[in-house]
Structures are given as structure tokens and as C-alpha cells.
Amino acid sequence: MFCRDYPEERIGKQMLIRNVGGASGGGSSLTPFAKSLVEQFHRLHKNILTQR
């Protein structure tokens, strides 16, 4: 198990869309679920900063 797989196993949802190699070199992107988590984190962080 790689560190990148750990959150997916803990949450039970796919977080990354992985594209392996090939002519374009592959890469990864966030799933819609992971993007929503990032957006929620940013809103929470903003709320915490404004309450200081």
C-alpha cells in the first residue's frame, strides 16, 4: 500500500483518477468526491480564519 492509497482505503471512496504512462506520460486528477472535500476544507479554513 502506498501513502496515496491510504485515504481511499480509510474513507472507502476513490480520490484519484490515475492515468498510467503512454505517449502523454500519464498523470492523476481528483475525483468529483475529492474535489468536494477540498472545497469543504477551504470553506472551513476560511471560516476559522475569519473567527480569529
Q: How confident is the model at residue 4 (pLDDT cuts 50, 70, 90)?
A: low
pLDDT of 8-23, one tens digit each? 888 899 998 988 887 7
The neighbour count for residue 44, using CB atoms within 10 Å, is 10
Taking 70 as the threshold, does the pLDDT of residue 52 lie above it? Answer: yes
CA atoms within 13 A on the CB side of 3: 0
Q: Tell me the pTM.
A: 0.72
Rounded mean pLDDT, 32-42: 95
In this prediction, residue 1 carries a pLDDT of 47
Which string of b and e fits 19-40 if b means at least 16 CB within 10 Å? eeeeeeeeeeeeeeebeeeeee
7 or 11: which carries more pLDDT confidence?
11
